[in-house]
A and B are shown apart, each in its own frame.
Chain A
């Protein structure tokens, strides 16, 4: 999840999104989806700003890449805030299997 500065115009926001997308794909990772939430009001002020463009990236990558991406997003101009988390993967239910065996 990336929050982009609203003072940037649409084209600049798109540039940042494309840059992140390229970075993900460049390292041989799989980019599943890019979800543009658009401009949203923030619950609290960040860097004297009350709004932000929310963009959600879903991708598959290793831990090493996540560290790199985290570092680069920190220093990307226009990114107010970002968060990289592991998405939920549905677990296979073991009890159901046991039931089948019975």
Chain B
């Protein structure tokens, strides 16, 4: 994750380069995926955080079309208990 430094540079007074975010490419567009199966849990798990929440596009870097596919598939997988709705936070 990129750390935001603010306008005045870093706290220790040294000037640091602002990190320019790398342009993300949708993984599914790259592979030419037309359909995402709800049974493919290993793939879906990559787009869900440790609490079971769906990762936003800003994090996963997916395009709108494929993000929609992910949400539908994750929700289907949750319905038949292949994925969890909520996971308990590990203390």
Contacts and interface: CB of A to CB of B under 8 A. Distances in A.
Interface of A: 1, 3, 42-44, 46, 52, 54, 56, 81, 83, 85, 88, 90-91
B34 A91 contact: yes
A94 to B, nearest CB: 13
Nearest to A51: B81
Query: Main SS of the interface on chain B?
Result: loop
Contacts of B82: 43
In this complex, the interface size class of chain B, counting residues with CB under 8 Å from chain A, is: 10 to 19
Contact of B34 (A46, A56, A83, A90): A90
B81 A42 contact: yes
A60 B76 CA distance: 20
Interface of B: 34-35, 37-39, 76, 78-85
A30 B52 CA distance: 37
Contacts of A1: 80
A42 B82 CA distance: 6
Contacts of B38: 85
A85 B79 CA distance: 12
